[in-house]
Amino acid sequence: MQMPSPVRPLPMCRFLHQPEAFRTPPTVPKAASLTSLVSISSSETCSNYSFPGNQVFASCIDLPVLQASLHWNYSQLTTKVQIAYRAVQIPRGWIAWALNPMGRGMIGSQALLAFRHSNGSMIAYSTSIASYNPPMLPSELDIPVTDISAEYVDKQMIVFGVLGPLGESNEFQPCMARWEYGFGQHSSGTSVVGSER
């Protein structure tokens, strides 16, 4: 599903990790600012990436130092933003994309998390970050989110979701989003997603 994507400019973003990855602040919808700890092939840019299922995103930003990218469609009509965050990852790893509508830190972040189960299926869900040692269990977010899914394609994990409606009341103080990754896995086959690397 492609949504119209007139993009509203953001205030200057403060990136929590590896700010050298960004020379100038990106122009992205309020809900889609970013930083990442994992990375995508330097020969492939976000604008020439073809998603499985022919999904199309009107806007994207590469995170070359981090080998990751964020793709989005923003609809002014519905005030929803459709996102896809993709990053190079090993099969037993995990990724998470998070946005903190209340500030810049980890606590208060609203996350979309994805990992690959030992049976090969992808698991994706939302989780709220309420402490520095979060359980990372599925939970509802303060920001409405639908259509959460994930894929593992060509050594890249991709997490998808639709945020919103955001409305005018959802002002994200100078936009904070955070990306995490991990490599651990329980002997049960469930990825370890609760520890920060």
- Report whether pLDDT(26) > 60: no
What's the pTM value of the predicted model, to 2 decimals? 0.69
Determine the pLDDT at residue 173. Answer: 29
Mean pLDDT of the chain: 70
Distance CA 115, CA 9 (A): 32
Q: What is the CATH number of domain 19-182?
A: 2.60.40
Determine the pLDDT at residue 45. Answer: 86
User: What would the pLDDT profile of 103-147 be if each residue is shown by its tens digit?
Assistant: 777 888 889 999 999 999 999 999 998 988 888 899 999 889 999
Q: Look up residue 97 and give its amino acid.
A: W
Indicate the burial class of 90 (C-beta count within 10 angstroms; 0-12, 13-18, 19 or more): middle
| Domain coordinates in residue numbering, the chain | 19-182
User: What would the pLDDT profile of 52-101 be if each residue is shown by its tens digit?
Assistant: 888 999 989 887 777 889 898 988 888 888 999 999 999 989 898 888 87
Instruction: Return all residues near 137 (Cβ < 8 A) that are at least 6 apart.
Output: 127
End-to-end alpha carbon distance in the chain:
34
Using DSSP, state whether 24 is helix, strand or coil: coil
pLDDT band at 180 (very low <50, low <70, confident <90, very high): low
Indicate the burial class of 6 (C-beta count within 10 angstroms; 0-12, 13-18, 19 or more): exposed
Using DSSP, state whether 9 is helix, strand or coil: coil
Q: Residue 82 is inside which H or E element, if any? A: strand 80-88
